[in-house]
Amino acid sequence: MRQITVYHVDAFTDQPFGGNPAGVVPDAGDLTEQEMQRIANELHLPESAFLLPSDRPDADFRVRYFTPQQEIDFCGHATLGSAWLLASERNWAKRTERVVFSTNVGLVPIDWAKGETRLSQVTMTQIGPKVAELAVARQELARMLGLSVDDLDDRYPIRLASTGVWHLMVPVKSRQAIDHARPQLQELSLHNKQHGIGTTHLFTFERGTDYDLYTRDFAPAVGIPEDPVTGAANGALAGYLVLEGLLEQTKRHQLRIAQGDAIHRPGRLNITITPGEEGPIIQVGGSAHVTISGQLRLPAEK
């Protein structure tokens, strides 16, 4: 019998049962791809991250991400949760100031900030943002999302955006409209698969007492009806805001984004956008909470 240590980490929150839950398997070097997929299905969390020895001198770990249904190229909240686990449970914060993950989309460095007594935040630098146009009828998109076409905010463009995975950015007029969205998940899944889209990301500039933007994210194409708090999609949103000229490209911006409230898993992301020679640099940060740790028992290898 083999025993594998697994963790349930709630990301973008400092409380259990909030934010976005991720499975983290920090010692996955001996697992096969089939075993990783089966473990992700067994944990049945939106995504699980598996940390393997890196074959690159400029990375500390190779990381693979799985939903209960399939492998995906990148996952922001599982990245943050994995780095938080390494820093808080495996003493990496005492050894170095950062860890670098090698992922299917490239290198992702993660830095941690320490308060007087404990870890306070980890921040990932995502790969360079991109945007692209997608021909989609506003009325048809609104119908798939369970919205009125009048709920869509026509001051801002509907675009694809990516910091590693393509997300469909949908501007909405109000938080109330976003909270009332009831997407046709099967249709949305087929649409997103057809266009190579990972998730559909609703956002509004309606501010709250502790946030600048409010979002929801639907990912049925990868087996996740609603992703509670999405590091990758909100990083892509930050890139969209700058590349589409909604935020000035020559200035540094700091944003606080709220997500998860609609499904009673509130989370908060801190995003910094910094001008760079090759385009905007997107950093997504937050805290996490290790909620469960345990041993998964697997059959002995034959």
Helix (H, G, I), strand (E, B) or coil at 106: strand
Give the residue from 87, 86, 42 showing the smallest Cα distance to 66: 42
Burial class of residue 25 in the structure, from the number of CB atoms within 10 Å of its CB (0-12 exposed, 13-18 middle, 19+ buried): buried
Alpha-carbon distance of 147 to 88, in angstroms, equals 42
Helix (H, G, I), strand (E, B) or coil at 28: coil
Largest Cα–Cα separation, the chain? 61
97 annotated active-site: no
Residues 214 and 258 sit within 8 Å (Cβ to Cβ): yes
**Tokens representing 279?**
């385009």
Residues 8 and 21 sit within 8 Å (Cβ to Cβ): yes
Alpha-carbon distance of 122 to 102, in angstroms, equals 17
Alpha-carbon distance of 171 to 301, in angstroms, equals 50
**Tokens representing 139?**
């009325």
Helix (H, G, I), strand (E, B) or coil at 278: coil
Residues 280 and 243 sit within 8 Å (Cβ to Cβ): yes
Q: Which of 33, 47, 206, 244 is catalytic?
A: 47
Residues 295 and 27 sit within 8 Å (Cβ to Cβ): no
**Tokens representing 215?**
């979002």
Give the catalytic positions in this structure: 47
